[in-house]
Amino acid sequence: MAGTKTLLVLENFIGGRFLPCNSYIDSYDPSTGEVYSRVPDSGKEEVEAAVEAARAAFPGWSARSPQERAQVLHRLADLLEQSLEELAQAESKDQGKTITLARTVDIPRSVQNFRFFASSILHHTSECTQMDHMGCLHYTVRAPVGIAGLISPWNLPLYLLTWKIAPAIAAGNTVIAKPSELTSVTAWMMCKLLEKAGVPPGVVNIVFGTGPRVGEALVSHPEVPLISFTGSQPTAERITQLSAPHCKRLSLELGGKNPAIIFEDANLEECVPTTVRSSFANQGEICLCTSRIFVQKSIYSEFLKRFLEATRLWKVGIPSDPSASMGALISKAHLEKVRSYIKKARAEGAQILCGEGVDKLSLPPRNQGGYFMLPTVITDIKDESCCMKEEIFGPVTCVVPFDSEEEVIKRANSVKYGLAATVWSSNVGRVHRVAKKLQSGLVWTNCWLIRELNLPFGGMKSSGVGREGAKDSYEFFTEVKTITIKH
């Protein structure tokens, strides 16, 4: 009983107030495997209360000018930045990611999301055309849609939650957000800052809980006309089914099976460390991570040698260790799922060159029950293998050789996903040519994960529907109206 007193207990944030819940879910510290917090197990009742609060707040918030809303977003960004270290510590503990990544990526990007959309909302223009022969002038106006339902994942908790909240409220909508029940703490912490930032009650509502209870109630609610979701394809299929009777607007950012294509003229000094990072950053739990590495045959052996050396230097450690390159995976179930792919690869005759089942993982006694695994490299694997076709979402990557440009493009495009790709070559004509032919929503050449938030983000094929970014998010979170004036 003494241990239960130390548990962090979260509450829903509805209508500007923290509200307790009738039942709770245990949340685990990924680095120890121990319960450390309790998350509300909300359902239809809480979602209904959030809809009422969001509905009541919409007229006043949507009537504010973009400039007034932008000021509120800037104040919230400032408050998040002032709490950066506290938020980073919480994100690292809750998700299992390294404290270094939380400090340098997750929380700074969360701050930037509010600043970016506070600025971009001030710079959109509308369309206007004349029909002089008819004596008419046509122009467009945009207005907020209403209540936005936002569902964010567990891998980049505050980063991706704010990527949705910021454009939604900047455009004048009110929101009901459901973070993952696995990583809810930083969303709850952000709620403590909303009143001080000047966010009116009901503009941002956070309802914690599971997909089947909170998510389905939110998606199927007739007064929530649009849903923005980041997560898995099976969940997206369920969202599509539930929202279809209401003809809801959907933005679905889903998974990836992202290729890196490394040509013989690639600069390996830059390519190798970047590809290690793109494969294993955040424990490989990023939808943009590289999980298929195609290397031109003439440099395959040299690349593989350097890649393995660099991978073995990628330190797996407790998340609070500033020198750790990689922390713990999100949950026991997810760790077992990732390990199952390595078992399947081995059964198919593939070679596991380093990592799981090959090298020894050393952890402090307190962390022996944590969800850790070493970065793992697989070779001698066929393109038809599940490890080359399915999203593993862990620190596992496959390295295979290729001969020609035409061949590798065909192989890179042979999966159902089309989110991101990287191309390594010093031939400018080739990188343009290959980038154009790859079926990916994002293509990085000679780099990885350099983002320009103005430009569209999203994938092709089963990697999603719609795009996010300055213009795309604005258009998603607003309704356009054409007005004709005869004079």
Q: Which residues contact 297 (CB under 8 A, 6 or more apart)?
A: 401, 402, 403
SS3 of residue 393 by DSSP: coil
Backbone angles phi, psi at 416, to 5 degrees: -75, -15
Instruction: Say which residue the tokens 């849609």 belong to.
Output: 145
> Which strands make up the sheet holding 136-144, listed edge to edge?
128-131, 136-144, 478-486
The tokens for 398 are 């496959």
> Which strands make up the sheet holding 34-40, listed edge to edge?
8-9, 34-40, 24-29
Q: Which residues contact 151 (CB under 8 A, 6 or more apart)?
A: 177, 178, 211, 215, 218, 219, 227, 228, 229, 230, 231, 239
Is residue 138 within 8 A of residue 128, CB to CB? The reply is: yes
Q: What is the dihedral of CA 441, 443, 448, 454, to 10 degrees?
A: -60
SS3 of residue 359 by DSSP: coil
Instruction: Say which residue the tokens 């467009």 belong to.
Output: 140
Is residue 242 within 8 A of residue 219, CB to CB? The reply is: yes
The tokens for 153 are 């994942």
| Nearest Cα to Cα of residue 413 among 443, 444, 440, 449 | 440
309 tagged catalytic: no
- Measured at the CA of 247, the angle between CA 243 and CA 249, to 5 degrees, comes to 80
Catalytic residue among 11, 46, 253, 391: 253
User: CA 81, CA 153: separation in Å to the nearest integer?
Assistant: 22
In whole angstroms, what separates CA 152 from the centre of its chain? 7
| Nearest Cα to Cα of residue 176 among 229, 246, 136, 107 | 229
Is residue 433 within 8 A of residue 409, CB to CB? The reply is: no
Instruction: Say which residue the tokens 């490299």 belong to.
Output: 377
User: CA 438, CA 228: separation in Å to the nearest integer?
Assistant: 26
CB count in 10 Å sphere of residue 114: 28
SS3 of residue 324 by DSSP: coil
Dump the DSSP string for 228-241.
Answer: EEES-HHHHHHHHH
In whole angstroms, what separates CA 466 from the centre of its chain? 14
Is residue 258 within 8 A of residue 463, CB to CB? The reply is: no
Residues serving a catalytic function are 253
